[in-house]
Amino acid sequence: MDDSRQIRLPLVWLITAVGVTIYGMIQIFTYLAHAGAQEATPPLNFTAAQVWTIAAFYGAWVIPALLALIERRAAHWASLILGGILVVLTTLAGVFDGIRDGGHLVVLVLWAVTLPGSVATALSWRRLRTA
């Protein structure tokens, strides 16, 4: 496989990770704007375990891209499964948050996470079939 085709799949997974980051930032700003409009920001009290869980979840988005760089069938399966689970979980959470905080979040999660995540999942499946 030539270099440009080999790097395409990890690049699509990284684009999805960037979309998740953009979605997360806009979600936070939407929450702050909504809370600021109510004249009182409700306190967000996270425990250390919750902060670590959030950091691990968003940090896990680079793992499918790294696994896609490995030229082994097991790594390709792991990239497909982990990436697919992350896309589904983020899409469901984004739709839930969009229903609660505003419809623009639903559109954003579908555009920034689900669309590139679906392309990455399809390319991962194609790589597994051709390998």
pLDDT in tens, 30-86: 877 877 776 666 667 889 999 999 899 999 999 999 999 998 999 999 999 999 999
pLDDT in tens, 9-20: 999 999 999 999
- Number of Cβ within 10 Å of residue 128's Cβ equals 13
Half-sphere exposure of 4 (CA within 13 A, CB side): 0
Q: Residue 38 — φ and ψ, nearest 5°?
A: -90, 5
Given a contact cutoff of 8 angstroms between Cβ atoms, the answer to whether 120 and 80 are in contact is no
pTM for the model: 0.87
- Among 119, 121, 131, residue whose Cα is nearest residue 64: 121
Collect all residues with Cβ–Cβ distance below 8 Å to 54 and sequence separation of at least 6.
46
Q: What is the pLDDT of residue 42?
A: 66
6 vs 103, residue with greater confidence: 103
35 vs 102, residue with greater confidence: 102
